[in-house]
Homo-oligomer: A and B are copies of this chain.
């Protein structure tokens, strides 16, 4: 199914797809059944928007720990949807913008989407759009209220819209009334031991006989993003001198001692 997901990817039109592509630079690997089921359910939602005459709008929240792969999943769905209008909305381009400015930008994206018969909007890292911080807590209620309205407002007759939001703060979102406003809320899991092993074996990071020892050093639940970072550190930096020519070649196997030394540097 994962293969199929990737095979299906047929960019609708340029710029937007590029932005989504940048969200999944490591490609997409299947870490196991839980992840496959999640992908499957998501694709079914895309399908429902495409075909159901009674579903002018569907809103889905992807929640999961930092680095669990939410953005990569949303991007994969956007690319795979082949909808004529797809849009990534993130705070990246809004540093220091005013609350009102953000609201207008959000409203503009939805208005643009209403012009296409079939649209998909990704609201990535909604806590950043909301300028949320746990101390206080503080956040932009102006932006929150705009989202609460936009997520409930029906598109004009004959138009269809799928909204995918991502967050690592599901409990906060419940208190904000955001979770209840999304039609569906789905959980992005971390990698357990078995799943971590499957990922490491697929990318061939270690010699097969060292794989189990390497996996044993991981936390019980690891974000896939952190796993990729640790591999790069072990390959090029920490845990063994850091000199230029001592590097494990890119794509080559990582010696177990290096992996051990690297893990110690960071956690010890």
| In the complex, per-residue mask of A189-229: 1 if CB is within 8 Å of any chain B CB, else 0 | 00000000000000000000000000000000000000011
Q: Is the CB of B100 within 8 A of A96?
A: yes
Dominant SS among interface residues on chain A: helix
A175-189 CB mask vs B (1 if < 8 Å, else 0) is 111001001100000
Report the copy number of this chain in the oligomer: 6
Specify which chain B residues have a CB less than 8 angstroms from the CB of A266 in the assembled complex: 41, 184
Q: How far is the CA of A243 from the CA of B1 in the complex (A)?
A: 13
* Shortest CB distance A210–B (Å): 21
| B96 close to A135 (CB less than 8 A) | no
- Asked whether, in the complex, the Cβ of A265 is within 8 Å of the Cβ of B51, the reply is no
Q: How many residues of A contact B (CB 8 A)?
A: 73
Would A250 and B53 be within 8 Å (CB), given that A47-B242, A95-B103, A244-B47 are in contact? yes
Chain B residues whose C-beta falls within 8 Å of the C-beta of A96 in the assembled complex: 100, 103-104, 107, 142, 146
The complex places the Cα of A172 from the Cα of B103 at a distance, in Å, of 26
Q: Do the beta carbons of B250 and A66 come within 8 Å of each other?
A: no
A contact set with B: CB distance below 8 Å = 22, 25-26, 37, 40-41, 43-55, 66, 91-92, 94-96, 100, 103-104, 106-107, 128, 131, 133-139, 141-142, 144-146, 148-150, 153-154, 172, 175-177, 180, 183-184, 228-229, 232-233, 235-239, 241-244, 247, 250, 265-266
